[in-house]
């Protein structure tokens, strides 16, 4: 199976860890979106497009027979297809493409058309991964839960209740989380956390996702949390 991956270097590295090419029978080509010609985009059976939500016009370039996985943590598949006013012809599948959340045992996915699950199952088997199908909603499941926890931790830090290290340690020891919320925020990326929360809040208007001023300030300054 031929697969093209459109992403930056960090997610390309995560993809290689999640889906090792050796002995898989699959062939991978990693490209930056600007380096992908129309002809090249139309060659493979499967595309993983990590940046399609930022450049939805690329949907017009895929052919009918292709399966396109797109990172939809901050949007919906339905909204993505509507952006280009497209009665979509290719098989469009959403996936959780955030840093640290791709290379897990289970691939978190959503579908534009429920009838496409048979295709999804076939491809995931070829890639050697189990999958978890979730509703086509902004934030999916894992990202919205993690980012909400990170946001609540930011409120606790902002109020001076505890330090970064104390909050991280408390969450790891008290809940057996593999990472503390601030450690996870740095690895996911403060920018990504902010954008997920912003998208989910706009979608739901639920106060649980209203962005903490401390997190917003760090996002605007391009800062990370100081982990001691």
How confident is residue 104, by pLDDT bands cut at 50, 70 and 90? very high
Q: How confident is the model at residue 88 (pLDDT cuts 50, 70, 90)?
A: low
User: Which pair of structure tokens corresponds to residue 33?
Assistant: 């979106």
Residue for token pair 């330090």: 163
Report the pLDDT value the prediction gives residue 157, as an integer from 0 to 100. Answer: 96
**How far is residue 45's CA from residue 1's CA, in Å, rounded to a whole number?**
6
**Domains, the chain, ranges and CATH?**
2-133 (3.40.50.720), 142-221 (1.10.1040.50)
| pLDDT tens digits for range 204-219 | 999 999 999 999 999 9
| Higher per-residue pLDDT: 149 or 87 | 149
Q: What is residue 36's predicted lDDT score, i.e. its pLDDT?
A: 83
| 7-11, 46-50, 71-75, 78-82: segment of lowest average pLDDT | 78-82
Provide the pLDDT for residue 81. Answer: 84
Say whether pLDDT at 147 is over 80: yes
Per-chain mean pLDDT for the chain: 92
For residue 223, give Cα distances in angstroms to 3, 4, 38, 121, 186.
35, 32, 37, 40, 9
Among 35-39, 84-88, 118-122, 129-133, the range scoring the smallest mean pLDDT is: 84-88
Global pTM value? 0.92
For the cut 80, the answer to whether the pLDDT of residue 108 exceeds it is yes
Query: Which range has the worst mean pLDDT, 82-91, 166-175, 201-210?
Result: 82-91
Taking the C-alpha atoms of residue 150 and residue 135, their distance in angstroms, rounded to an integer, is 23
pLDDT top residue among 90 and 115: 115
Lowest average pLDDT, out of 11-15, 87-91, 161-165, goes to 87-91
Closest listed residue to residue 142, CA positions, set 105, 172, 173, 170:
105
DSSP string, 49-75: ETTTTT-GGGGGGS-TT-EEEEE-TTS
- What pLDDT is stored for residue 115 in this prediction? 93
């Amino acid at each position: 199976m031929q697969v093209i991956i459109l992403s930056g270097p960090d997610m390309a590295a995560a993809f290689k860890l999640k889906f090792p090419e050796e002995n898989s029978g699959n062939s991978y080509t990693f490209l930056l979106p600007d380096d992908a010609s129309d002809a090249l985009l139309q060659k493979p059976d499967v595309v993983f497009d990590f940046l399609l939500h930022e450049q939805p016009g690329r949907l017009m370039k895929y052919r009918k027979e292709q399966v396109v996985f797109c990172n939809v943590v901050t949007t919906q598949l339905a909204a993505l297809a509507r952006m280009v006013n497209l009665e979509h012809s290719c098989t469009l599948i959403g996936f959780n493409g955030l840093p640290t959340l791709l290379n897990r045992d289970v691939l978190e996915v959503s579908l534009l058309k429920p009838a496409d699950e048979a295709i999804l199952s076939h491809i995931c088997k070829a890639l050697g991964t189990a999958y978890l199908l979730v509703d086509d909603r902004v934030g999916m499941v894992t990202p919205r839960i993690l980012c909400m926890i990170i946001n609540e931790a930011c409120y606790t830090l902002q109020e001076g209740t505890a330090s970064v290290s104390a909050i991280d340690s408390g969450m790891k020891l008290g809940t057996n989380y593999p990472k503390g919320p601030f450690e996870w925020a740095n690895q996911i990326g403060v920018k990504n956390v902010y954008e997920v929360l912003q998208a989910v809040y706009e979608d739901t208007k639920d106060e649980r996702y209203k962005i903490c001023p401390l997190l917003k300030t760090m996002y605007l300054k391009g800062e990370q949390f100081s982990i001691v």
